[in-house]
Amino acid sequence: MTLKSFLIIVLAGVAYVATTWFYFGSTHPCEILVARQKDYQIDVAERHHREEIDSWQEMARKVLPANDYARFVRNIKEYSSALGRQENMKRSVVKELRESVREITPAQCAWQAMTWQPPHLTPGGVVN
């Protein structure tokens, strides 16, 4: 191996580490996969939360008197928009993603990180 070949290999390694660290905050393939899927999974969790809130409101509309219903809606909106709830939800999504990638090998993580594309979210559901 010549010095030129050695320098090319070293520079390619440095370029990989620098770009993956810059874009994903890690050089490990599983953390890159988590970083790629995180925003999509947070959007899905928010959508599920909104659907759950809507179902609670619909059920409360049928059961509660008007003044109690208005108070219920006000309280549920405060709960939904609370910064602590949103941050906890984001943390739990990332934690679940990290737990799911622990079950696969780094080679599988690398392949999925390279090939994963988020499905398109539509108002009626998820469409690939």
Q: Which of 29, 26, 52 is nearest to 113 (CA)?
A: 29
What pTM does this model have? Answer: 0.69
DSSP 8-state class, residue 118: P
Q: Which residues of the chain have pLDDT under 50?
A: 128
pLDDT at 14: 83
Backbone φ and ψ of 120, nearest 5°: -80, 130
- b (16+ CB within 10 A) / e for 5-37: eeeeeeeeeeeeeeebeeebeeeebbbbbbbbb
CA 51/CA 59 separation, integer angstroms: 12
Q: Which of 39, 5, 29 is nearest to 121 (CA)?
A: 39
pLDDT digits (tens, 9 = 90+) for 17-48: 777 776 666 667 888 889 889 999 999 999 99
